[in-house]
Amino acid sequence: MFYLKNHGALIYNVSDAIGVPHGFSTRAGGVSTQEYLASMNFTTSTGDSEANVAENYRIFLSALGLEPDSRVSAHQIHSARVRYVTEADRGRVFDDYDGFVTDRPGVTLIVKTADCVPILLADAEAGVIAAVHAGWRGTVGGIAPNAVSEMLRLGASLANVRVAVGACIHDCCFEVQGDFVDAVTALRGAEFADAHIRRKGSARYADLVGMNCALLTEAGITPSQIDVAADCTCCAPFLYHSHRATKGKRGTMAAAIGIV
Q: What is the pLDDT of residue 147?
A: 98
pLDDT in tens, 224-257: 999 999 999 999 999 999 999 999 999 999 999 9
In contact, 7 and 244? CB cutoff 8 Å: no
254 contact partners, CB below 8 Å, separation of at least 6: 24, 25, 42, 57, 60, 110, 111, 112
Q: What is the pLDDT of residue 158?
A: 98
What are the contacts of 245-249 at 24+ separation with CB within 8 A? 245/173, 246/36, 249/36, 249/46
> pTM here?
0.98
Q: What is the pLDDT of residue 98?
A: 98
In contact, 27 and 39? CB cutoff 8 Å: yes
Q: What is the pLDDT of residue 101?
A: 98
Q: What is the pLDDT of residue 74?
A: 97
Q: What is the pLDDT of residue 114?
A: 98
Question: What's the fold here for domain 2-170+207-258?
Answer: CNF1/YfiH-like putative cysteine hydrolases (3.60.140)
**φ, ψ at 148 (rounded to 5°):** -60, -45
In contact, 107 and 87? CB cutoff 8 Å: yes
Q: What is the pLDDT of residue 146?
A: 98
Q: How far apart are CA 180 and CA 72, in angstroms?
A: 31
Q: What is the pLDDT of residue 206?
A: 98
Residues of the chain with pLDDT under 70: none
Whose CA is closest to 254, among 120, 87, 95?
A: 120
Q: What is the pLDDT of residue 228?
A: 98
